[in-house]
Structure 1
């Protein structure tokens, strides 16, 4: 026999589904549930819900991506020990030939001397200068991302030979955690202005794939904080792919493992001792705006607590 959702759960769904966001929930099973109710003006109101164990499937949340929220507090410790590689295939490149790009990630860093840009003729090289992240191709240097000012957190710039000669002796490095945290703290307008028009055209012809194995550690974003755990068991590996990265990108975590999670949004505080499951996040451009589609195919939670604020 079907039963109605508790008032607190219904309130959560209503709040998340309001405005530009759309929320869908497939199946939800709650075990060991306790609801705290207060009486206000002669009417009962659910204020807190605790659940010993919950299983959820088919959760989907989507809508416009509000880049203004990004300029907040970020802590991305799992990037500090990340391992993996990102590969890109540039088709009909502006350079006049196709190119295959491989960017290794080791101990949370990209060392541009290890990045390869292979194509017909002499290969190109990637690097980081005080002006930005670049590709040195046979027809000259072009920038994938330009820095508004230097220094930039997490960037070790290229170095040249004696007497400021033209030859680059070290292509530089990116420490992922400080660099990505710095990037996310920039105003949305600044993030977009950093990508030159030529690079945007290039990204529309760039196919991307790869895997990044995140380290254990604290993850904090506006309204969210949690501890990633389970690296030794192969958890929290991010697979990314795109047919044209300028138009969209998909990230998948087939084995998510999170502990001590805290979420706060719309007057709702949610805490959870442990979360495991499978996650997919799609970012795409529609109508000239960036949108997101977040899906939890299956998820298991223990020690779940929800508190509704006035």
Structure 2
């Protein structure tokens, strides 16, 4: 049977607000093989559906808006319990789910010191950008786990136009085995080239007119950092520019920022970001990725999955992150007392971070997404 979806399933479960049904094709649902039976508990029963398909859904929760072009579930089982005479869903399981045309957008709200840190990471080590949206881990709400960065491989390229410090510079930052070796990073421009590095004070650029810091550490030492080294005792010359091991460095910095620490982006770096175009490709490794309320085991790097493309015409205005082949397993998310999980996940992801004046917002789009072993507990 096919009927207008007067109140969406997500609305029932999570208290979302259903969009207008003025358009005939919006918010519609079809069911096949509907059946129910009593469960073992008193006042409980089980509802099963062979196939459930919904199209053109539009849901809202405050400033967040979720649009789903199509969602199809196979072999759905729902447990319903009666509380004070009112039936309530307690759990839903589906053997398989397919989604397309999914778009989630809204304000990207973070504390000021975290926002500055995110911009700094975009400008200096764009490889960590995919992992800094939001974070936590299964162990504790304050923990961060960025396992896929540990074996990341790729190259980040920047073009700084009319830069006061770097004179129209082309910046290339290689990423090898999950680390950035600043001895291999290049900053090319007219005249003597500049060099990037990391000292106990922070991430810097040595330009012809002197050293400038892009990001300053709140304190040293910082996990995942090998600081620069001088050639000889009291020598002014730098023999080693230093290294960043991306996973421990990013995890440590995120913990500092969530605790209200961190110096942040310098004013010189803010000016550079407005003139910096960015591009790059980074192949993430396998491992646990955990952010606040969400975690997943990223897998399939050997087959080229979870490769990240980065693009920005000007970092001061925003950044686009694309994953043509997202692949993960054992994923779970918690929200408003509900827990959503799945055994496997595959699809295509596009994430935009947009800077509009003093505000930031995000647009996340998912296509050709398949979920296996889907479950929702309320």
Cα distance change of structure 1 residues 170 and 148 upon mapping to structure 2, 3 Å threshold: same
Q: Is the 8 A contact 2:13 2:89 kept in 1?
A: no
Question: Within 5 Å, which residues of 2 pair with 1:1-310?
Answer: 1-3=1-3, 4=5, 8-12=9-13, 14-15=15-16, 17-67=60-110, 72-95=142-165, 97-187=167-257, 193-308=263-378
TM normalised by structure 2 equals 0.77
Cα distance change of structure 1 residues 259 and 241 upon mapping to structure 2, 3 Å threshold: same
* Counterpart Cα distance in 2 of 1:290 and 1:48: 35
Which structure 1 segments of 5+ residues have no match? none
Which structure 2 segments of 5+ residues have no match? 17-58, 112-133, 137-141
* Counterpart Cα distance in 2 of 1:301 and 1:9: 17
Q: Is the 8 A contact 1:251 1:282 kept in 2?
A: yes
* Counterpart Cα distance in 1 of 2:182 and 2:151: 17
Shift of 1:60: 1.4
Larger-Rg structure? 2
* Counterpart Cα distance in 2 of 1:245 and 1:48: 43
Shift of 1:17: 2.7
Cα distance change of structure 1 residues 96 and 78 upon mapping to structure 2, 3 Å threshold: closer
Q: Is the 8 A contact 2:218 2:262 kept in 1?
A: no
Partner of 2:27: none
Shift of 1:191: 7.3
* Counterpart Cα distance in 1 of 2:363 and 2:211: 36
63-72 or 47-56, larger mean C-alpha shift: 63-72
* Counterpart Cα distance in 2 of 1:171 and 1:219: 29
Shift of 1:297: 2.1
Q: Is the 8 A contact 1:8 1:46 kept in 2?
A: no
Greater relative contact order (Cα < 8 A, sep 6+): 1
* Counterpart Cα distance in 1 of 2:242 and 2:282: 21
Q: Is the 8 A contact 2:166 2:189 kept in 1?
A: no
Cα distance change of structure 1 residues 190 and 286 upon mapping to structure 2, 3 Å threshold: farther
Q: Is the 8 A contact 1:113 1:172 kept in 2?
A: yes
TM normalised by structure 1 equals 0.94
Q: Is the 8 A contact 1:34 1:51 kept in 2?
A: yes
Q: Is the 8 A contact 2:14 2:338 kept in 1?
A: no
Q: Size of the alignment, in residue pairs?
A: 308
Find the residue that maps to 2:62 and give its secondary structure: coil
Shift of 1:14: 4.0
Cα-Cα RMSD: 2.0
Find the residue that maps to 1:148 and give its secondary structure: coil
